[in-house]
With several copies, the nearest count.
Chain A
Amino acid sequence: MSYPNLPALLEAIIYLAEEPVGVDAIRKALPEVDRAELDSAIQGLIEKYAAPEHGIEIREVADGLRFSTKPEHHETLKKFLKSQIAPTRLSLAALETMAVIAYRQPVTVPEIQEIRGVHAAGVIKTLLDKRFVATAGRKEVLGRPILYKTTKEFLIHFGLKDLSELPSMEEFEELIKTQAASEETIETAEQTELPLEEV
């Protein structure tokens, strides 16, 4: 059996899959389709939907493909959401912890606390509950603390294709240096006031 209309079938598969579909999974489901043909059909589909006449697009997330609406329609689309599910937004504490895990994984709670300067194991529970992190064995040091790593859900939630898509730590270092150099940037960005002056 061959697929006379491969792009159409691919479109249906990507549309239907609940989670981002990996190209491997598609390949396995369509073993008789030539690999190069499949890849180029997928690429063609992505490009087709990227055009402005489409309001939905195919994105590569967590090593897979999925349809989603384009951000530019966000405001109008909000009105059509039946159940306005509040979007998941992590607290600053959770985001910081998430960042440490993403960049230092596998990492233990004591190591996270050392970097953040805060005792807050509870945040880990939040991230575990949201499935953004998972355990990854134990570290062979005193107390054998549990190691944590990021999950596929982490990639999906933050719209990352894979971990290599994360900007490098050096980029943040650079950023800090440029910020320190140009004071104006800092001042405009500053929104919170230290209440020291009021004392």
Chain B
Amino acid sequence: MVDELKISLPLYEGPLDLLLDMIRKQKIDIYDIPIAQVTQQYLDYLHLMKELNVDVASDFLVIAAQLIYIKSRMLLPPDPDAAEELEDPRIELVRRLLEYEKFKNAAQMLYQREMIENAVWSNPGAVDIDQAELEPELTVGLYDLLLAFREVVKRSEQRPPMEVDREEFSVEQMMAFLWENISAASGEVPLTRVLPEITSRRRLITAFLAILELTRLRAIYLRQDRPFGEIIARANPNYELSKSASAS
């Protein structure tokens, strides 16, 4: 049932907007609202909307219920036992309406400012200094962080699950494999010569991690003579892999 009540009326931003418009249009004194009359008109309007097949949002029904409640309270004879004067049941609604009206006016003020801003232009193509050296970056806030995380999670969910071949090398095995090959070369050897055939992303990562770990343990030394050049590996002859590898 809730599903049917979702779209707000096109003309009004909400029940308060509708109510306020009725009151202002009929020049009703907002501090003395003829609640029976206004309630009837409000309900008529909702009824009309239903006939026009416009879904009435639940927000409108909430205010309708409140109007009916106020009306019923006002019909009750004052309780003689109650402490002197009861608060006017309309007061809370009036307060809300007046508060809302202020923001409605503020919204209109923003609208006018927006119109003025839309009539001027700034910075069409001002920058003509070489911007290549200036890294394009974003000024970020928390919302950007959240969006970025959402994007990353979405991406990782969309990626076909990595084919995990359980027969693949573990990092440990890869370390042993590489160590064996590099030290067998006795001297310098291009890294590409000692790497196993990279058949999968996982193997690439495994190899990458294994090389990093071997370097960290000072089991091997790496050298690269120029950017993107061949990486040369050399084994540390004083190193015994089995010792520290088993530590982890």
Contact = CB atoms under 8 A, between A and B. Distances in A.
Interface of A: 15-19, 66-71, 74, 77-78, 81-82, 85-93, 95-96, 98-100, 102-103, 110, 113-120, 128, 134-135, 142-145, 151, 157-160, 166-167, 169, 172-173, 175-176, 180-181, 183-186, 188, 190, 192, 194-197, 199
Contacts of B209: 110, 143, 145
Nearest to B162: A114
Q: What 6 pairs across the A-B complex have the smallest Cβ distances?
A: A118-B14, A99-B149, A87-B118, A99-B106, A117-B16, A89-B137
A159 B117 contact: yes
A78 to B, nearest CB: 6
Contacts of B45: 194-196
B118 to A, nearest CB: 4
B140 interface: yes
B58 to A, nearest CB: 7
A66 B123 contact: yes
A86 B139 contact: yes
Q: Interface size for chain B: under 10, 10 to 19, 20 to 34, or 35 or more residues?
A: 35 or more
A92 B103 contact: no
A199 B129 contact: no
Contacts of A194: 21-22, 25, 45, 108, 111
A117 B14 contact: yes
Nearest to A77: B129
B171 A116 contact: no
A128 B145 CA distance: 12
Interface of B: 6-8, 10-11, 13-17, 21-22, 24-25, 27, 30, 41, 44-45, 48, 57-59, 62-63, 96, 98-114, 116-129, 131, 134-146, 148-153, 155-156, 159, 170-172, 205, 209, 212-213, 248
A102 B24 CA distance: 25
A117 B143 CA distance: 22
Nearest to B49: A195
B197 to A, nearest CB: 20
7 contacts: A68-B121, A78-B129, A90-B110, A99-B146, A116-B16, A119-B58, A143-B209
B13 A96 contact: yes
A134 B110 contact: no
B102 A176 contact: yes
A148 to B, nearest CB: 10
B120 A71 contact: yes
Given A96-B152, A188-B10, A116 B138 contact: no
Contact of B7 (A114, A143, A157, A181): A181
B196 to A, nearest CB: 18
Contacts of B125: 17-19, 66
A168 to B, nearest CB: 9
**A115, A134, A157, A169 interface centre (most CB from chain B within 10 Å):** A115
Nearest to B110: A95
Contacts of A67: 122-123, 126
Contacts of A158: 110, 113-114, 117, 141-142, 145
B38 to A, nearest CB: 11
A71 to B, nearest CB: 4
Nearest to A157: B117
B110 A172 contact: no
A143 B122 contact: no
Contacts of B10: 185, 188, 192
Given A77-B121, A185-B8, A194-B111, A99 B103 contact: yes
B135 to A, nearest CB: 7
Contacts of B248: 142-144
A195 B48 contact: yes
A134 B137 contact: no
A162 B167 CA distance: 44
Contact of B113 (A88, A134, A160): A160
